[in-house]
Every structure is written in structure tokens, then in C-alpha cells.
Amino acid sequence: MKYISFITVLLFSLNCFSQPPMENNYKIYNTKTKQLTTIDQIVSDCADADVLFFGEEHNDSTGHFLEAAIFKALYQRFGNKLALSMEMFETDCQLPLDEYLKGFVTEKKMITDARAWSNYKDYRPAVEFAKENHIPVIAANTPRRYVSLVSKSGMKALDSLSKEAKKYLPPLPYDTLSGRYYERFAEIMKGSPGSTNPNVYYSQNLWDAGMSYSIYKFWKKNKDKKIFHLCGRFHSDEKLGTLAQLQKRKSKLKILNISSFSDESFDISDPAIFNWEKFSNLGDYVIVTNPRLKRTF
């Protein structure tokens, strides 16, 4: 038994040392200064900002680590002048989410009633930190059933919904972004089922309009708070999608965005060789993460 225990401890130790610390699995680039930067500097730059978007890859373990790390650093700097906004919860789930944050229901109950994503474990550290420190969490996303309705029957189908249902939607009719956002969407969807159906693009815009409105509504009532919004990076890369919709709602809002993703170029250690310019259009900060780390799903 002692021998088995020794082997178990040894294997565990070797596994721990086989992966570099998470801090060594990402590089942050400031596209304005054209220099590598840090989490602390991002937080410092937020002093004059109203909203900070973190555009993630949903299964990037390093990205999820950074979301929690940046959220905690923002709290250390701004304290209770902070709110967390999440694509991962839909607007009609705000009540069960709030009930959990206030300790009225169990985590298991919240996960069920708030329809938490299947990879909720990736977002749990941020939600738990918010709960411990009494930080508001915005269930920002449009309910999927209404997005599906638009994808199937078009934007006009939303007009027939009840007043109660429309409480969970952005004001109708919502904006549909043309130009570059549509081009990017068409590039990604090319060859996919429904790629030529305009309703599919309108449903994409409903995600964006809904999230932007959720953030805007909260900001109107809490103008002293900074909002940290988590979303898939397509919703905010190049300051398009949700970010563009939010900027249209209030042009004076100062919004910063992060684009975080894994890329083979992470292995280029020489800054003189690393071609940051190919990513510089994505946002204010670009984070390249180690592609060799195991994905969360």
C-alpha cells in the first residue's frame, strides 16, 4: 500500500510539473502601444472606460483562467463599482441567477433553473467571486427560443409575442448590422446549412442586440459601475456585433475590448518575429494562448 501511495504521489507530481504555470500560457498585446502588456495594465486602462468586453473561445482553458483573473483584478482596483455581464445566461434567467447570488437557492438549483451552459464549470470561478463579493451579474443574452423563432420565421415573428415575452427582448425592431459584420458572418457560414437564408443572419443580430440592450439597461441605472462582459469573440472582434450595437445605443460610452484565442504563433518567442499586426484589427488587446493546452470540451 505504501508503494502504491508513493507511485500515486509521484505521478501526480510529474503531471503538475508537465504543464507550465498558466501565467506562461498566454501573451497580451496592446494594439495601441504595439507592445506586450499585462493584466494590471488592462485594469489601469479601464479607469476611464465604462465597459470592457472579453471575447473568448468558449473552450479555451487559458481564456477562462484570464477571465477570472481580470475580473478579480478589476475588483481589486474598482471594488463595488463593478458588474459582471455574461452571454452565458439568458435574460429570462435573471431571477434564478440573482436568487443564487443572494444565497436563496443552491448552486444545483440555479444551474437547472437558469439553464447554465453545459461547460458552466468554466465560468463558475467568476460567478462564485461575484457571489462572495456581492457583485451584480447580468444575464445578458436573448433567450434561445426567440432566436430560433427568428431563424425559422424571420424578425416579424417577434411582433406577435406577448408583452410579457417582449420584456426579455431588446426594443423591436432591432438593428441588423450590415457591412463588415455581415461579411464576416458570411465568411464563417459559407457552405453551412441555411447560409443563404437571411433569417439566420437576423437571428445572429438578435443575440447582439439583446446583449447590448442588457448591458445598456444596467448601465443607465448604474452609471458609476464598470461592466465586464464575457462573450464569444465573434460578438466583439473588430468592435463589431454586440459591441457595435452597444455603441449605437450610447455613442459616448467608452468601450474597450479583448480578443482572446489560441494560435500556433504562440510558440514564436522572439517579439521581433511575432507578427502581431495580423491580429491588431481585432481589438484594443489581443491575447494569444497556448494551443497545446487541453480544451475544456
As a whole number of angstroms, the distance between CA 103 and CA 118 comes to 22
Grade residue 20 by pLDDT with cuts at 50, 70 and 90: low
CB 201 within 8 A of CB 190: no
The DSSP code for 23 is G
Residue type, 63: G
Which tens digit of pLDDT belongs to each residue from 195-209? 789 999 999 999 999
Ranges 16-20, 58-62, 87-91, 111-115: which has the least confidence: 16-20
Which tens digit of pLDDT belongs to each residue from 73-104? 999 999 999 999 999 999 999 999 999 999 99
- Kindly report the backbone phi and psi dihedral angles of residue 294, in degrees, each rounded to the nearest multiple of 5, phi listed first: -65, 135
CB 267 within 8 A of CB 27: no
> What's the pTM value of the predicted model, to 2 decimals?
0.92
Which tens digit of pLDDT belongs to each residue from 262-285? 999 999 987 778 889 999 999 999
Task: Tell me the domains of the chain and their CATH numbers.
Answer: 43-254 (3.40.50)
pLDDT of residue 19: 60
Is 6 a residue whose pLDDT tops 70? no
CB 239 within 8 A of CB 247: yes
pLDDT of residue 15: 45
